[in-house]
Amino acid sequence: MGSSGINAEYMGSSGINAEYMGSSGINAEYMGTGSGKFRLHVTCLSFLAQHAKFKVWVKPNGEMSYLYGNHILKAHLGRITENTPAYQGVVVYSMKDIPLGFGVAAKSTQECRKLDPTAITVFNQADVGKYPRG
C-alpha cells in the first residue's frame, strides 16, 4: 500500500488470513489469532490532519499515554477546537502541532471546561503509537 490510506487488521478467531483494499483507500487485513481485536494502522494521518475541522492538542505529559492506546483525560488536554460537539471525530495533535492520531470527542468543548481532571475527553480510535508498542 502507498503512503496514504488506513490499514486495518482484524484479529479474529476463525484462522482466516485475508487482505482487502477497498476503493476508499482502506487496507483491511483479517487475521485469525483468537484475540478478537481490530487495529488501525494510520498511514494517511497527514492528509486527515490537513482537512480536519475539529482538533485536539495533548499536553506533553499525556502524549505517551495516548500513544500507548489510552484515551485522553481532561488533565492531558492542552487545547480543543472551539464548538467541538460531543461524539465528533477529531484529529489529535501534540502541543508542537505534530499529528498523533484520531479519535472521537467524548464531551463537547463546553462540557470539557467543567470536567474532573480524570474524566475522559477523547476516545482513542487510532494513533501512531503502534511503533512504541511494538
Q: Determine the Cα–Cα distance for residues 127 and 68; give it in Å rounded to an integer.
A: 8
End-to-end CA, the chain: 20
pLDDT recorded at residue 22: 37
Nearest CA to 29 among 42, 15, 10? 10
User: Quick check: helix, strand or coil at residue 51?
Assistant: helix
So what's the pLDDT on residue 86? Answer: 97
Q: What is the pLDDT along the chain (134 residues), one digit of tens a residue?
A: 444 444 444 444 433 333 333 333 444 444 444 455 555 566 778 888 899 999 999 999 999 999 999 999 999 999 999 999 999 999 999 999 999 999 999 999 999 999 999 999 999 988 888 656 55
